[in-house]
């Protein structure tokens, strides 16, 4: 089963920032995106449900500082990447 992955405008900006920051960050983010395309519920790596303003979204670590934040629309087999930098901004 394959999921469609789309990116919010903010995630697209974050991806450019991530690419220029470090090739290792870019590679790790791509690995996580590939995993989401296979199965957004698969663990490891662990994910956590977010609360507050981002309630309904999930987060996975890119590294100690950066997170990949995404939402899942199971009925459409769709994963929307919301952020790739940090969800604390």
Tens digit of pLDDT for each residue in 41-60?
A: 999 999 999 999 999 999 99
pTM of the model: 0.91
- Strands, sheet with 78-83, edge to edge from the N-terminal-most edge strand: 4-7, 78-83, 67-73, 58-61, 48-49
Structural domain of residue 9, as residue ranges?
4-83
Please give the mean pLDDT across all residues of the chain.
93
Is residue 48 in a domain?
Answer: yes
**Residue 88 confidence (pLDDT) above 90:** no
> Domain tally for the chain?
1
Of the candidates 42, 39, 29, 31, which has an alpha carbon nearest to the alpha carbon of residue 68? 29
Do 11 and 70 touch, CB atoms closer than 8 A?
no
The helix or strand, by DSSP H or E, that contains position 7, with its residue range, turns out to be strand 4-7
Q: What CATH code is carried by the domain that includes residue 76? A: 3.30.2310.20
Q: Widest CA span of the chain, in angstroms?
A: 35
Is residue 88 in a domain?
Answer: no
Is residue 89 in a domain?
Answer: no
Is residue 17 in a domain?
Answer: yes
Confidence of residue 10 (pLDDT cuts 50, 70, 90): very high
């Amino acid at each position: 089963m394959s999921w469609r992955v789309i990116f919010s405008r903010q995630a697209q900006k974050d991806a450019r920032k991530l690419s220029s920051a470090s090739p290792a960050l870019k590679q790790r983010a791509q690995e996580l995106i590939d995993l989401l395309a296979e199965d957004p519920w698969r663990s490891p790596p662990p994910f956590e449900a977010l609360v507050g303003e981002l309630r309904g979204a999930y987060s996975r670590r890119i590294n100690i500082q950066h997170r990949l934040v995404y939402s899942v629309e199971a009925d459409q087999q769709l994963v929307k990447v919301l952020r790739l930098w940090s969800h604390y901004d």
